[in-house]
Structure 1
Amino acid sequence: MAPTFGSVVLSTPDPAGLAAFYRELLGWATVEGGDPTFLRLRGPGSERPGLSFQLDHGHVAPAWPPREGEQRMHAHLDLLVAPGALDAEAARAEALGATREDHQPAAGVVVMRDPHGHLFCLFVPGA
């Protein structure tokens, strides 16, 4: 049997703080485990895939857009929003602590950073 996708893991100096941001943004639940250095969220009604947060005191946020000699992005999250809700969801993410990037590569997509500097994109289907 082939492996199945389980989770994306984000490094962070504050797993609880970053998990709280994504829990509110996505409406997901924290999976209880008792280890404050590694937390996981799950979507409503499903155990996997999840979004996890691992303690990393040396986390360095990537440059955006990429610049020679600076930390490069290894991955980012793409989060779908309902048609017509892009601006409202971007504003809600900002109210939760995200920041909007100055460089926006395309219409229908908003590039943002979570409170610890990880890049994510809000986008409408088809963008």
Structure 2
Amino acid sequence: MAPIVGSVVLSTPDPAGLAAFYRALLGWVTVEGGDPTFVRLRSPERERPGISFQLEHGHLAPAWPAREGEQRMHAHLDLLVAPDALEAEVARAEALGAVREGHQPAEGVVVMRDPHGHLFCLFVPGA
């Protein structure tokens, strides 16, 4: 059997805090484990894949767009939304603590930062 994606892991100085942001944004639940240095979320409907948050005291947010000599993005989350709900989901993400980036690459895609500086995109099908 080929490997399957179990979880995407984001480094953060505050795993519980960042997990709370994504729990509210996605409507996911926390997988109980009791380790404050590593928190995992999953969909209420399925165990995997999930999103995990790992303690990293020296976390640096990436530059966007990429600039020479600055921290580069290694990965980001693409979050699919309904075509008629893009701006409402952007506003909801902002109310939860996300920030809309000034540089936007394409129609139907909104690049944002979570409260700890990780980039993510809200996008509509076909974008």
Give the TM-score normalised by structure 2: 0.99
Q: How does 1:1-127 map to 2 (within 5 A)?
A: 1-127=1-127
Structure 1 gap segments, 5+ residues each: none
1:8 shift after superposition: 0.1
Q: C-alpha offsets along residues 13-45 of structure 1, whole Å, 9 cap, x if unaligned? A: 000000000000000000000000000000121
Structure 2 alignment gaps of length 5 or more: none
Segments of 4+ moved more than 2 angstroms: none
The superposition leaves residues 40-90 of structure 1 with CA deviations (integer Å, 9 ceiling, x where unpaired) of: 000121000000000000000000000000000000000000111100000
TM-score normalised by L of structure 1: 0.99
Instruction: Give, in whole Å, the separation in 2 of the partners of 1:121 and 1:26.
Output: 13
SS of residue in 2 equivalent to 1:91: helix
Amino acid at match of 2:119: L
AA aligned opposite 1:41: L
